Amino acid sequence: MEQVFVNIFINAWQSMPGEGKVYIETDNSTVTEKVASAHGVATGEYVKISITDTGVGMDEATRERIFEPFFTTKEMGRGTGLGLASVYGIIKNHDGFIDVKSEKGRGTTFTVYLPAVSLEMAVKEIPERGKIVMGTETILLVDDEDMILGVGSETLKKLGYTVIIARNGKEAVDIVRDAPDRFDLIILDMIMPEMGGGEALKIIKSIKPDAKILLASGYSLHATANEIINEGSGGFIQKPFSIEDLSKKIREILTDGPS
């Protein structure tokens, strides 16, 4: 769920050029049969989290499309339009729904509804914290989203790695071509503007056949991702991922994973 709110906050920030305010409100809400039917969820008690910004707002046509994959109002090269699509998918996977109210020039409110659980049930469902595995190698992190590059590079540094970043597949290819033996692992986003992960992987493998590559995507493993993995990716990890899962996957590939 962290990824959900990070993406909503980024959307709010980008909608407020210069300055603005963001308001967060939480509440309990009862979802009626009518509302449940409209959103394809169960009736009952929900937790409601509302995030309101004072940004430029959206017209109705934009508002109706913001959760579509690849729909974006950003300028070319500043994102793929997958942020809010991922938000929608993650919330649906948690049996919740999201509502958007916006008006041109009057800001936007995203309201997330998640099924409420009792404190006793919530405590029972907390999983045992996994073990974080550290390292010292050099990693090339490739993603077109500035937020993911920022958070990802800081996370990797805390795990002990030296991190170099690239904002798309083409930039990653150029970096590898200039110094093919510099990196022990490349973490490669699958969908990016200019050059996606699949095409970049093929070129990188032609430059350095034994390159170790971890494919990352906001979508679950599917046919296209499997094809790319078969072409030489050492593994796949779905975003958003925990620091424990990322640390283990990295060590798995670096220690004995396929190249």
- Chosen domain end from 91, 124, 157: 124
Residue 69 has pLDDT above 80, yes or no: no
Taking alpha carbons only, the member of 133, 126, 185 closest to residue 159 is 133
Instruction: Name which of 48-57, 87-96, 178-187 the model is least confident about.
Output: 87-96
| Residues 117 and 162 reside in one and the same domain | no
Give 179-203 pLDDT, tens digit per residue.
Answer: 999 999 999 988 888 888 888 999 9
Tokens 């904002």, located at residue: 167
Total-model pTM:
0.55
Residue 62 has pLDDT above 90, yes or no: no
| Residues 197 and 252 reside in one and the same domain | yes
CB 114 within 8 A of CB 128: no
| Residues 8 and 113 reside in one and the same domain | yes
| Residues 170 and 113 reside in one and the same domain | no
User: How many domains would you assign to the chain?
Assistant: 2
What's the CA gap between 4 and 14, in Å, rounded? 16
Domain extent, residue 205, equals 138-256
Give 106-159 pLDDT, tens digit per residue.
Answer: 999 999 999 997 655 555 554 555 688 999 999 999 998 887 888 889 899 999
| Residues 86 and 108 reside in one and the same domain | yes
| Residues 167 and 59 reside in one and the same domain | no
Q: Judging by beta carbons within 10 Å of its beta carbon (0-12, 13-18, 19+), is residue 243 exposed, middle or buried?
A: middle
- Chosen domain end from 58, 91, 124: 124
| Residues 108 and 142 reside in one and the same domain | no
Q: What is the 3-state secondary structure (H, E, C) of 108-175?
A: EEEEEEEECCCHHHHHHCCCCCCCCCCCCCEEEEECCCHHHHHHHHHHHHHCCCEEEEECCHHHHHHH
Kindly state whether residue 133 falls inside one of the protein's structural domains.
no
